[in-house]
């Protein structure tokens, strides 16, 4: 029961790789003979791999060409308004 709570908490914390690694260790009979550090390192590797894979799978940001055109027009408009009211500074007082 306590192990199931731990697995649930790991998944709640978005540590799915740790949870998967822990579940895998529970099914392997030789894992209990490993030291704490060895078991911990066996949990870190799947989590890092899982995070790296999820970053790769993210779809690119989708934005329409119309939206890009509107943003571009607004940016140019703001730039031209901010420059027109300025005077050139020639010397410091």
The alpha-helical segments, DSSP class H, found in the chain are: 2-12, 16-27, 36-57, 65-84
Please say whether the beta carbons of 10 and 16 come within 8 A.
yes
pLDDT computed for residue 48 by the predictor: 81
Please say whether the beta carbons of 19 and 47 come within 8 A.
no
Retrieve residue 44's tokens.
């870190």
* Per-residue model confidence as pLDDT tens digits over 49-72: 777 777 666 666 677 777 767 777
Distance from C-alpha of 60 to C-alpha of 21, rounded to nearest angstrom: 29
> What percent of the chain has a predicted confidence (pLDDT) above 90?
10
pLDDT computed for residue 12 by the predictor: 92
Interhelix angle 2-12/16-27, nearest 10 degrees? 150
Helix (H, G, I), strand (E, B) or coil at 34: coil
């Amino acid at each position: 029961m306590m192990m199931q709570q731990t697995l649930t908490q790991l998944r709640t914390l978005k540590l799915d790789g740790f949870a998967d690694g822990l579940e895998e260790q529970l099914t392997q009979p030789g894992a209990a003979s490993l030291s704490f550090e060895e078991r911990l390192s066996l949990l870190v590797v799947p989590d890092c791999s899982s995070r790296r894979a999820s970053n790769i799978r993210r779809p690119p940001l989708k934005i329409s060409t119309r939206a890009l055109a509107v943003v571009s027009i607004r940016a140019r408009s703001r730039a031209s308004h901010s420059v027109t009211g300025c005077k050139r500074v020639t010397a410091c007082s």
